[in-house]
Structure 1
Amino acid sequence: MSLKTGLEWRYATKKFDNTKKIPADKLEHLLQTVKLAPSSFGLQHYEIVVVEDPAVRERLKEASYGQSQLTDASQVIVFAVETNIDEDYVKAYIDEMASARGVKREDLSGFEQYVLGSVSRLSREENINWAKKQAYIALGVLISSASELQIDSCPMEGFEADKYDEILGLKEKGLTATVMATIGYRSDEDPYANMAKVRKSDKDLFIRI
């Protein structure tokens, strides 16, 4: 399935079939695709929590205003952003880059200083907001990749982030929940599945200069 066809097929699934699970190989393919999502400087300012435990998902449902997707979907994917993007974080990334590319670390010093300068100019809150923007890029990749695999998804912001942080133990990891998506397979009873997709017309959406 092409990406365009997949995006035409997908919708924000409101009711999942709780008897259907994503096969392990497809889930791994999906996660590896999201791993390749672009991020500013390649820093990957987040971690991705894959939640399958039923008891944990029940608690997340309570922190999500009772939305049934949390317990009916195959998995819950939480994007948790780094709250301490600092010199140590950047240096660890440069270490990884040197190793992955087989280059001397000192050869990356110019790039390292550039990234450190960008990070140091921002307040802690600004760095977190920057990280959140990167997480949304990864969310977009998740939704797009899922559509190609004909895996349903529902991006969701309707949850209490502080409770997610507590339930998932994120704060002690230097993370905070930002956005999530439930993934799985739509129920035949979901009335939204066959609704026409509503988008702006080309003339109202595209500005060509």
Structure 2
Amino acid sequence: MTIIDNLKWRYAVKKFDANKKLTEEQVNTLKEAFNLTATCYGLQPIKLIVINNKEVQEQLLPFSFNQQQIVQASHLFVICIQDNYTTKEVTEYFNLVKKIRNTPDEILNPFKDFLTAEIQKKTQEELAIANKNQAYIALGNLLTVCASLNIDSCPMEGFIPSKYDEVLGLEKHNLKSVLVLPVGFRAEDDYMKDLLKVRKNLTESVIEIS
């Protein structure tokens, strides 16, 4: 299928086949795709929790408004941002740039100083909003990659983040959950499986300026 065919094939799965599992290779591809997601300034202020444990998925179910995809899915992805975001992240990023590209300090320092000042002048609430926007970029990237591999998914905002954080012990990692993505394979009796996709005409959703 072409990428457009894949995107037409994709939908937010309402019922997964609990007996079908992603391969290790498929999971690794999705993890790599997450890591390669574009983020603001390349700082990657997001992390991915990959859950392949039915007991944990069951624990999270009541904090997901009992949406059964949470336990039916092969794997449950939880996208997180850092709870306390500091200039330490900028320092670590530029150390990595220097290690990988061997870029001299005189070239790196002006940009490093700019990003440090940008973070210092923002509140933690402002930084959390900005970083959550990066999580949505990662979610979109994962949805597209899943579709290209014929892996099903269901993006979710409908969960209680504080309870997820508690169950997953995210506080000790300085993380808080912001988005959830069950992944796996659609069940044959999912009522949404064969429904036509509903989208506006391109002329209604795209404006061209030439």
How would you bin the TM-score normalised by the shorter chain?
over 0.9
- Distance (Å, rounded) in 2 between the aligned partners of 1:134 and 1:203: 28
Structure 1 equivalent of residue 124 of structure 2 = 124
- Distance (Å, rounded) in 2 between the aligned partners of 1:195 and 1:165: 35
The C-alpha deviation readout for 1:142-177, integer Å capped at 9, x for no partner, is: 000000000000000110000000011112211110
Unpaired runs of at least 5, structure 1: none
- Distance (Å, rounded) in 2 between the aligned partners of 1:96 and 1:105: 12
- Distance (Å, rounded) in 2 between the aligned partners of 1:30 and 1:87: 29
Shift of 1:106: 4.6
- Distance (Å, rounded) in 1 between the aligned partners of 2:188 and 2:208: 41
Structure 1 residue identity aligned to 2:109: S
Structure 2 equivalent of residue 139 of structure 1 = 139
Shift of 1:93: 1.2
- Distance (Å, rounded) in 1 between the aligned partners of 2:106 and 2:92: 14
Shift of 1:100: 1.5
Q: How does 1:49-128 map to 2 (within 5 A)?
A: 49-128=49-128
Normalising by structure 1, what TM-score? Answer: 0.96
Structure 2 equivalent of residue 151 of structure 1 = 151
Structure 2 equivalent of residue 166 of structure 1 = 166
- Distance (Å, rounded) in 2 between the aligned partners of 1:145 and 1:60: 25
- Using the aligned pairs only, state the percent identity: 34
Normalising by structure 2, what TM-score? Answer: 0.96
The C-alpha deviation readout for 1:4-41, integer Å capped at 9, x for no partner, is: 12101110001000000011111111211121110000
1:38 aligns to what SS in structure 2? coil
Structure 2 equivalent of residue 42 of structure 1 = 42
Unpaired runs of at least 5, structure 2: none
- Distance (Å, rounded) in 2 between the aligned partners of 1:57 and 1:171: 19
Equivalent pair of 2:46/2:80 in contact (CA under 8 Å): yes
Structure 1 equivalent of residue 16 of structure 2 = 16
Shift of 1:3: 2.0
Q: Indicate the RMSD between aligned Cα atoms, in angstroms.
A: 1.1
2:187 aligns to what SS in structure 1? coil
The C-alpha deviation readout for 1:84-122, integer Å capped at 9, x for no partner, is: 221112111111111121223453111101111221221
Equivalent pair of 1:94/1:105 in contact (CA under 8 Å): no
4+ residue segments displaced more than 6 Å: none
Aligned residue-pair number: 209
- Distance (Å, rounded) in 2 between the aligned partners of 1:186 and 1:106: 53
- Distance (Å, rounded) in 2 between the aligned partners of 1:106 and 1:84: 29
The C-alpha deviation readout for 1:65-100, integer Å capped at 9, x for no partner, is: 111111111000000101222111211111111112
51-60 or 106-115, which moves further after superposition? 106-115
